[in-house]
Amino acid sequence: MATLTREQLIAHLNQDLEREYQAIISYVIYSQVLKGAEFMSIAGELEKHAAEELQHAIVVANQIDYLGGMPAAVSKPVRTSEKAREMLEFDLENELNTIRQYRARVKECEELEEFAMAEHLREILVDEQDHLIALATALGREAPKP
C-alpha cells in the first residue's frame, strides 16, 4: 500500500520543475558569460543543455497537470559568479542534486503505480546524467556519483 499521496507527488514534481527552471536560466546565463579558451566548447554545450532543460520542464509540467496539480511558476535561486570555473561548479552541484531528486521521484511514481510517468522521468535522467558528465569533463575531472 502506498504511503505517498498524489498531492505529495505533485509537490515533489513542482520542486523538480523549479529546478528545471533554475537550470534553464543558469545555462542561458552561463553559456553567454563563460570566458576563456578552455571553456569555449562547454559554453556551446550549455546552450544545448538549456534547450534540453526546457523540454524537461514541459514534460514535468505535463505530468503535474495529469495528476491534477498546477505547475510551479517560480525558479529555485540561480547562483552566478564572475569566475567561469565557479559557475561550472554550481552547475555540477545542481545536476547532482537533480539526479538524486529524479531517482527518488521515479521510486515515488512506481509506488503510486504511475509507471508511464516513471518512464518519462527516466528519460530525463539520461539527459541529466549526460549534463553531469559534460560538466565534470569541462572541469577536468571524473563525473561524481550521485
The domain locations on the chain are: 6-138
Query: Does the pLDDT of residue 57 top 80, yes or no?
Result: yes
Q: Secondary structure of 88-106 in the HEC alphabet?
A: HHHHHHHHHHHHHHHHHHH
Q: Which residue has the cell 550521485?
A: 146
Count of positions (residues) in the chain: 146
In this prediction, residues 117-126 reach a mean pLDDT of 98
Three cell numbers written together for 28:
542561458
The CATH number fitting domain 6-138, selected from 3.30.70.20, 3.60.15.10, 1.20.1260.10, 3.40.50.510: 1.20.1260.10
Q: How far apart are CA 133 and CA 99, in angstroms?
A: 12
Three cell numbers written together for 39:
571553456
Rg for the chain, CA atoms, rounded: 16
What percent of the chain has pLDDT above 70? 99
From 17, 15, 84, select the one nearest 54 (Cα to Cα).
17
Letter for the amino acid at 30?
Y
Tens-digit pLDDT profile for residues 59-97: 999 999 999 999 999 999 999 998 999 999 999 999 999
> Around Cβ 34, how many Cβ atoms within 10 Å?
20
In this prediction, residues 110-129 reach a mean pLDDT of 97
